[in-house]
Amino acid sequence: MAKNDYHQKLRGLIVEYIVLGYKSLKKFPDDEKYGMISQCKRALVSILLNYLEGFARTKKKVMVNFYEISYGSLQETIGIFYLAIFLEFISKEEYKKLFDIKEEIARMLWSTTKGVKQEDRE
């Protein structure tokens, strides 16, 4: 897959995950508006923005830093959704959809980060 096609696929998956995440957050109780909802929305948007900022950089170490922040935000969001199952805010089925998309994004982000690190060593 060409670099630009890979970038577009990853970006599309991230957007899909964000949209699904926002829809899931609508099921959270109002008393979480300034707690988990707010935190998760920031982290969801951070996945995309940090990935895009990293993609736009030319210095490899800076690129890696943004990709790693994006990856961390991704993990943060799935942690919130995992907790939401036990708090009965979302169903296990809904979590599974989020988790499956998260896993594909995580693989692609990790692969991208690893590739940039290897390029930097050469």
Position 113 scores a pLDDT of: 93
Residue 38 CA to residue 43 CA, distance in Å, equals 9
State the fold for domain 3-121. de novo design (two linked rop proteins) (1.20.1440)
The pTM (predicted TM-score) of the whole model is 0.93
Position 9 scores a pLDDT of: 97
**Annotated domain spans of the chain:** 3-121
Assigned token pair, 75 = 């993990």
**Tokens 């707010």 identify what position?**
38
pLDDT digits (tens, 9 = 90+) for 7-27: 999 999 999 999 999 999 999
pLDDT digits (tens, 9 = 90+) for 72-117: 999 999 999 999 999 999 999 999 999 999 999 999 999 999 989 8
Residue 2 has pLDDT above 80, yes or no: no
Give residues with Cβ within 8 angstroms of 53, minimum separation 6. 66
| Cβ-contact 25, 41 below 8 angstroms | yes
